[in-house]
Structure 1
């Protein structure tokens, strides 16, 4: 029905194993999501047809994941359209009920072994609709999810654009490594691995039955002031975000804390594009030594130096390259064992999901009034923080399975973070 006789089996990638391991070890729920509030009504039949077009070009969203000893793969499965598109009516026709229904699907997990790998929940009010779109992190990272959303919006608006999109290609990190010279590969393999962080955690108890999200936003005025400040200092907005968090955590622990930074590896690819929607990111260690400095600017200089020397150096992909080599020569179960055994789990992680292009998120003549783009829900004591920007509004979010006391801890961290970040404007 959807696949039109095209390829129906897709090889696993190391990212698939990585994210699946995180889920099995109860580290995160590997679900990333958009909440989109619209200024009008969607054409439901057109929306469902767009889902079918999207499956035709990106059939892995309609697959089950199968694991064997020697291999693992995604196999295409035909699902009823109702498994992809869920529609609920906002019977009270108020914002409170709308938000409750959106969050109902925001917290609802996906079953990667049985599929499908994406869900569109449409909440219908009398004069407008809202969407909660959730996707399996095994399928794509944050940048890939944006590409998926842009493709979906384009096909909803212009279904004749279906032929503008290529068939699904190589999803693995090998598309990054296969075009490197022998010298570049050798440099990656011989680079020193960074020693793990010293463990330090927030005082979080955790509750797997109680997911919550805490969100903070900055105004458009704040956004432009931060951009102006970053330009004047010759740093990125991401450097400012990390600096504020570094100072916030120092105030909590009275010592410097290492933070993992997710970076997009597409910049190392030809045309800076992957062959298809996929995961193409890795993590950097942001460390500033034993002291953060007395002022924000002093900490900023340390953070910018730490991240700057890593983010443009392809040797940061050593772990990913080794795993790709192992994937080529070792049985699947052994690759999975290596990932489970040797992949460190870091206490603090930050991910800047970037700017969501307003011009590419139109549903024909219906446009968003607000967008929240958020990462996975993690388990205590891990703290994962994400940032995204839409229409010059910066949104920060933390998703956690935790107790009411944990939520208070997260609230305090975010309040202090915003105070640190806005201290420079």
Structure 2
């Protein structure tokens, strides 16, 4: 089925793709929110930003909708909650505390709307753009941020910019069209089974207070790490995955030889031409990379080889194909299956592999408000226990590592230690090739 968005169609409903449905049903394992943060040196023009945000919301009608369950799930219009408006300005002397309180409250996709934008104003402005994973992955959050920036700039310069209607296919159909049925079957078979299960040890399985920790490597340090990786034939993703597994092994602790299977994501838009990519869509999928702990050099070589096998075997296509086949049984059947698994997890009978996502570069277009920007970073969804996840994002040559977690399950100091351990491992990988 082809699912597209247009303003006229949005007045009625938009069909939910298989991946939309999947991400909605995963609300039991994380809070579903993806955040883009932009910290300015000074302050935005409040009225202009208000207009830019309203125009962006109108251009992307999914942001103002809610998810409706049923045999054929769909998105329909929703009335904003007066207690949680889509956009507002929050004035505060303590922006970090205000941000922490904001991030602790996810939006409810069953009530809508599915976007929340806050301008946190102190002596400088911090713009927080948050979208629910039910309608989009990280690419869409960045795309929406870029749209707001472009509209703000056009309003400031008094130039006319009218966003195009998003008429692109939101499903996997166009991506699948680049692969034969045999290729998809082979990829699906090769990567559909979980090879190992390793849950990060937690203090409690209760979903308690949601919070974040993050660490940022400055431009000079990250440039050295990136150059070192390139010279030795590794990707940044190889380094990040390896450092994540080694940091987890130190925190657990896990003896050498332990296999830590890490779920990692891939954006399948790579198989589409740039002008055919839908902005708000769930076109990212996850697959497992088993990482056996050893010395840093051996670990990164093994990760590099495992990722190469998955790229050659189209693991992302296999994951997407397997996901679509899961929904052949129907939405309600998948919902029942996941609910059963969630009960087993809460009872401590099922483990959950760690998750790592490289959210990529925050492009300059997102920062183009015409106001000096201090920095920008992204935050992944808060993982519920026994899950633990971490994300990386890059802005102006600075690498930010961030983790969302429940404080009752994992102490903030322990999460901070894992991030610091990752930062320590990144520059030190020797060549194992």
Deviations 1:283-313 (A, max 9, x none): 1221245xx443x222211110001221353
TM superposition shift of 1:404: 8.3
- Counterpart in 2 of 1:383? 388
Please tell me whether the aligned partners of residues 323 and 335 of structure 1 are also in contact (alpha carbons under 8 angstroms). Answer: no
For 1:259, which of 248, 259, 262 is the aligned residue? 262
Alignment of 1:197-212 (within 5 A): 197-212=196-211
d(CA) in 2 for partners of 1:310, 1:336? 29
For 1:60, which of 50, 62, 67 is the aligned residue? 62
- TM-score, structure 1 normalization: 0.87
For 1:11, which of 4, 15, 29 is the aligned residue? 15
d(CA) in 2 for partners of 1:6, 1:13? 16
Please tell me whether the aligned partners of residues 215 and 395 of structure 1 are also in contact (alpha carbons under 8 angstroms). Answer: yes
Root-mean-square deviation (CA, aligned residues, Å) is 2.7
- Counterpart in 1 of 2:237? 238
- Counterpart in 2 of 1:89? 91
TM superposition shift of 1:182: 3.6
Please tell me whether the aligned partners of residues 204 and 381 of structure 1 are also in contact (alpha carbons under 8 angstroms). Answer: no
Structure-2 change in CA distance of 1:196 and 1:338 (3 Å):
farther
Deviations 1:186-233 (A, max 9, x none): 434554633342334223325533222111111212111101111111
Please tell me whether the aligned partners of residues 10 and 76 of structure 2 are also in contact (alpha carbons under 8 angstroms). Answer: no
d(CA) in 1 for partners of 2:416, 2:107? 27
Alignment of 1:73-84 (within 5 A): 73-77=74-78, 79=80, 83-84=85-86
* Comparing 304-313 and 201-210, the one that deviates more: 201-210
Structure-2 change in CA distance of 1:272 and 1:385 (3 Å):
farther
Please tell me whether the aligned partners of residues 32 and 133 of structure 2 are also in contact (alpha carbons under 8 angstroms). Answer: yes
Residue 112 of structure 2 aligns to a residue whose secondary structure is coil
- Counterpart in 1 of 2:427? 422
Are residues 1:134 and 2:130 paired?
yes
d(CA) in 2 for partners of 1:421, 1:321? 34
Are residues 1:284 and 2:287 paired?
yes
d(CA) in 1 for partners of 2:291, 2:188? 25
d(CA) in 2 for partners of 1:408, 1:276? 36
Structure-2 change in CA distance of 1:312 and 1:374 (3 Å):
farther
Structure-2 change in CA distance of 1:382 and 1:272 (3 Å):
farther
Residue 361 of structure 2 aligns to a residue whose secondary structure is strand
- Counterpart in 1 of 2:108? 111
Please tell me whether the aligned partners of residues 84 and 120 of structure 1 are also in contact (alpha carbons under 8 angstroms). Answer: yes
d(CA) in 1 for partners of 2:289, 2:107? 32
- Counterpart in 2 of 1:33? 35
* Comparing 180-189 and 217-226, the one that deviates more: 180-189
Please tell me whether the aligned partners of residues 207 and 408 of structure 2 are also in contact (alpha carbons under 8 angstroms). Answer: no
- Counterpart in 2 of 1:309? 309
Please tell me whether the aligned partners of residues 379 and 402 of structure 1 are also in contact (alpha carbons under 8 angstroms). Answer: no
d(CA) in 1 for partners of 2:56, 2:285? 27
Are residues 1:44 and 2:46 paired?
yes
Name segments (4+ residues, structure 1) moved above 4 Å: 3-6, 78-82, 159-162, 338-345
d(CA) in 1 for partners of 2:332, 2:408? 35
Structure-2 change in CA distance of 1:71 and 1:412 (3 Å):
same
Please tell me whether the aligned partners of residues 200 and 353 of structure 2 are also in contact (alpha carbons under 8 angstroms). Answer: yes
- TM-score, structure 2 normalization: 0.85
d(CA) in 1 for partners of 2:388, 2:414? 11
Unaligned runs of 5+ in 1: none
Structure-2 change in CA distance of 1:161 and 1:118 (3 Å):
farther
Structure-2 change in CA distance of 1:305 and 1:404 (3 Å):
closer
d(CA) in 2 for partners of 1:155, 1:263? 29
Structure-2 change in CA distance of 1:155 and 1:313 (3 Å):
farther
Please tell me whether the aligned partners of residues 66 and 73 of structure 1 are also in contact (alpha carbons under 8 angstroms). Answer: yes
Q: Give the number of aligned pairs.
A: 409
